[in-house]
Amino acid sequence: MSDWDAAKYHRISDPQLAWGRSVAARLAPAPGERILDLGCGTGRLTEEIAATPGIFVVGLDRSAAMVQEAEARRPVRGLTPVTYVRADGAGLPFVDAFDAVFSTATFHWILDHDGLFRNVHTALKKGGRFVAQGGGSGNLEQLYGRARRLMRSPYYARFFTSWSEPLHFENVADTERRLRSAGFETLDVSLVFAPVPFDRPEAYAEFVAAVCLRHHLDCLPAGDRDGFMNRLTDEATADDPPLTLDYWRLNISARKARA
């Protein structure tokens, strides 16, 4: 499976940045805190969080391309107290290390949420905060439903015989259960609708191909990818409202026990 086109993601990821800023407002970092940005991507939001005086941030991503892009785009090395590392969220190499773990637009890419939450709990200091958002139940169902139907069509089905879903969109009740099982308390979990419209078919297709369907397109020969995307974009153009992605965001706030 190919890695992200990190430079393109950095350019087109304004929706993720906007969601992330709302989650960062809930984080409310305080001077002296050490914070883990789990799934930092190209570091757009990581650097903003680290700009708070007295904050030290570790930006972590399992994508080598994302980490390299984040390092390359640092405004001035050493200007903000950030360290970037490559690691998997379901296998964090930290114990009692952070006052807060922050994440946005990442958890739906991690299939093992039980392991994820146990790792986050272990990485936090006593009393540490866990503030996150990812794709939740129903996320992009219109887009992915259309993609599944197209994948099963006579022409495309041969390319998806070994297909397995790379994403996991969880609901509120199961998330709360997993958080409690991992040892968290003071839970606040919610699901909110966050549609993202595009003003041009070209912008819609570029975003969807780079962010939402990159694994699907990896299964296709290069010469068939434009046709696959054109079919989906034409259907989205006929929607009401047109060219709108039906995002659902799962918000998480929790705390590790102080004792």
Q: What is the pLDDT of residues 117-142, one digit of tens each?
A: 999 999 999 999 999 999 999 999 99
Q: For position 57, what pLDDT does the model report?
A: 96
pLDDT for 161-214, tens place per residue? 999 999 999 999 999 999 999 999 989 999 999 999 999 999 999 999 999 999
CA nearest to 134, candidates 180, 92, 89: 89
Res. 1: pLDDT tops 70: no
**What pLDDT shows up at residue 40?**
97
Q: What is the pLDDT of residues 31-56, one digit of tens each?
A: 999 999 999 999 999 999 998 889 99
Distance between CA atoms of 208 and 202, rounded to whole angstroms? 10
**Domain boundaries, given as residue ranges, for the chain:** 6-138+167-196+246-256
User: Tokens 């969880």 correspond to what residue?
Assistant: 170
Backbone angles phi, psi at 102, to 5 degrees: -120, 140
Rg (CA), the chain: 19
Under CATH, domain 6-138+167-196+246-256 is a member of which superfamily?
Vaccinia Virus protein VP39 (3.40.50.150)
Distance CA 126, CA 258 (A): 5
